[in-house]
Amino acid sequence: MKYLILVRHGEYDRAYHLSSNGREQVVALAEKLKSFVNGSSVIIFTSIADRARESADILCSFFGVDYEKHEILWSENDHPANFLGTLNLVRSNKDRADILILVTHIEYVEDFPSYFTENELGTKLRSTSVGKGEALVIDCQQKTLTHVC
C-alpha cells in the first residue's frame, strides 16, 4: 500500500443523508484525489452510515471500483472509534491495492492517522482539523501526511 487515504463524509441533512452541498464537496474532493490515484489500484472501505456510503458511492464512480462496508469505521456518541480494530483491517488489506481509502467520520479522520503512523510506520505524524468532504492522505513510503480540502 502506497497511500492510506482517510475521507470525512460530506455535509448531510437532518435525515443523515448527503445534502446537495455534501455531494458537491465529495465530487470536488474526488477531483483532487485523482492526482494521488493516477491509475493505481484502489480499494474503498466505508462506514455503514448513509452519509459515508453516499460519499463512497461518489468516490467509487470516479475511480471505477466498488466499496466494502465495515461497521468498525462508524463512530458516534454511543459507538466509539476502534483504532486497533481499524489498524487490523488496514493491515489485513494493505497488499490488495496501491491505495486504500477509508470513508468515515471525524474521530477516525482526525485521530487515526497518528495512531496508524506510530504503530505501522514507526513515526507519529500530527493530524489536523478536517472538515466535511475533506481528506488526509498518508504516504506510507515517504511517511508524510497531506491535508486535501
CATH classification of the domain holding 81 = 3.40.50.1240
Q: What percent of the chain has pLDDT over 90?
A: 91
pLDDT at 126: 84
| Sequence-ordered alpha helix ranges (H) in the chain | 20-37, 50-63, 83-93, 106-116
For 26-49, how does the pLDDT look when each residue is reduced to its tens digit (9 = 90+)? Answer: 999 999 999 999 989 999 999 999
Pairing of strands 99-104, 3-8: parallel
Helix, strand, coil share of the chain (percent; to 5): 40, 25, 35
| CB-count exposure of residue 129 (10 Å: 0-12, 13-18, 19+) | exposed
Name the pLDDT band for 77 (thresholds 50, 70, 90). Answer: low
pLDDT above 70 (res 115): yes
- Count up the domains in the chain and report the number: 1
Domain with 69, as residue range(s), is 3-148
Q: Which residues pair with 7 in a beta bridge?
A: 103, 135
